[in-house]
């Protein structure tokens, strides 16, 4: 199931994701900033929470079905665009991209292109905050929340730096399957691609915790980038 089909279930399936904690983390970097762009905003949960805190947040996503839901949360601009091919005539103080959006890219070349596109719409003193998935191994896990049983299986190949993941959600006897191939970017690759795009990685955190610095073993990484 790809995002088009998945969109109407997305908020139900991720109802226990701690968006509030992620937004609290983001607030550490938003002092004095006004305009925010949420790239790969999906159903707009981060953007909606930030809007409630008084920020002006535009959203951008490749999937119309996700944006149709985001429309109910975000009241400013929504762009139906691919990060690889942006057409936006506006500068942003902060650009966020949360929950593995850039892991959907294929390779380093696409990461450089994406960074360079984002840099073009970033104000001079602006920041880019990206959240990347960083699996350490293959595995599987089943958990239950409310009436939902979720089974996740992921196979990480360190040679190809690709992770194949499959998630099955079971709600009231109905089964929904989702599958993704993620390109896992190492910290060194992110730094290198950022430099090629004229950006610099200023700080790296793990698990949306301002007290914890990210390292190659962190399960997820938040990178703070600025113009070089």
Ligand X SMILES: C[S@@+](CC[C@H](N)C(=O)[O-])C[C@H]1O[C@@H](n2cnc3c(N)ncnc32)[C@H](O)[C@@H]1O
Closer residue to ligand X, CB minimum distance, 37 or 98: 98
Interface residues toward ligand X, by CB under 6 A: 3, 40-42, 45-46, 61-63, 66, 82-84, 98-101, 104
CB of 153 to ligand X, least distance (A): 17
CB of 9 to ligand X, least distance (A): 13
Closer residue to ligand X, CB minimum distance, 32 or 148: 148
- Ranked by CB distance to ligand X, the top (closest) residue is 42
Closer residue to ligand X, CB minimum distance, 113 or 194: 113
Closer residue to ligand X, CB minimum distance, 26 or 201: 26
The CA-atom distances, in angstroms, between 178 and each of 6, 70, 166, 173, 218 are 8, 20, 6, 16, 24
Dihedral sign, CA of 153, 62, 133, 205? negative
Closer residue to ligand X, CB minimum distance, 108 or 159: 108
Q: CB within 8 A of 73, min separation 6: which ones?
A: 43, 44, 45, 47, 48, 51
State the virtual CA torsion across 114, 65, 142, 101 in degrees, nearest 10. Answer: 10
Write the Ramachandran bin of 14: left for phi over 0, alpha for psi from -120 to 50, otherwise beta.
Answer: alpha
CB of 61 to ligand X, least distance (A): 5
CB of 198 to ligand X, least distance (A): 20
> Helix (H, G, I), strand (E, B), or coil: what is residue 28?
coil
CB of 214 to ligand X, least distance (A): 18
Q: CB within 8 A of 173, min separation 6: which ones?
A: none
């Amino acid at each position: 199931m790809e995002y088009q089909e998945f969109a109407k279930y997305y908020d139900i399936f991720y109802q226990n994701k701690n968006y509030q904690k992620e937004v609290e983390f983001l607030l550490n970097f938003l002092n004095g900033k006004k305009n925010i762009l949420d790239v790969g905003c999906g159903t707009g949960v981060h953007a909606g929470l930030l809007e409630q805190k008084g920020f002006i947040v535009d959203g951008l996503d490749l999937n119309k079905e996700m944006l149709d839901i985001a429309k109910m949360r975000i009241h400013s601009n929504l762009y139906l665009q691919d990060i690889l091919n942006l057409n936006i005539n506006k500068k942003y103080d902060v650009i966020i991209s949360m929950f593995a959006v850039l892991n959907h890219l294929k390779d380093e070349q696409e990461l450089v292109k994406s960074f360079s596109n984002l840099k073009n719409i970033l104000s001079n003193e602006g920041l880019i905050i990206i959240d990347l998935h960083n699996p350490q191994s293959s595995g599987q896990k089943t958990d239950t929340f409310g009436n939902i049983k979720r089974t996740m299986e992921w196979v990480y190949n360190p040679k190809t730096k690709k992770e194949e993941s499959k998630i099955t959600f079971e709600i009231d006897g109905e089964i929904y399957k989702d599958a993704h191939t993620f390109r896992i970017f190492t910290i060194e690759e992110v730094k290198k691609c950022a430099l090629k795009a004229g950006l610099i990685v200023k700080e790296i955190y793990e698990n949306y915790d301002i007290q914890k610095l990210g390292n190659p073993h962190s399960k997820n990484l938040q990178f703070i980038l600025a113009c070089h």
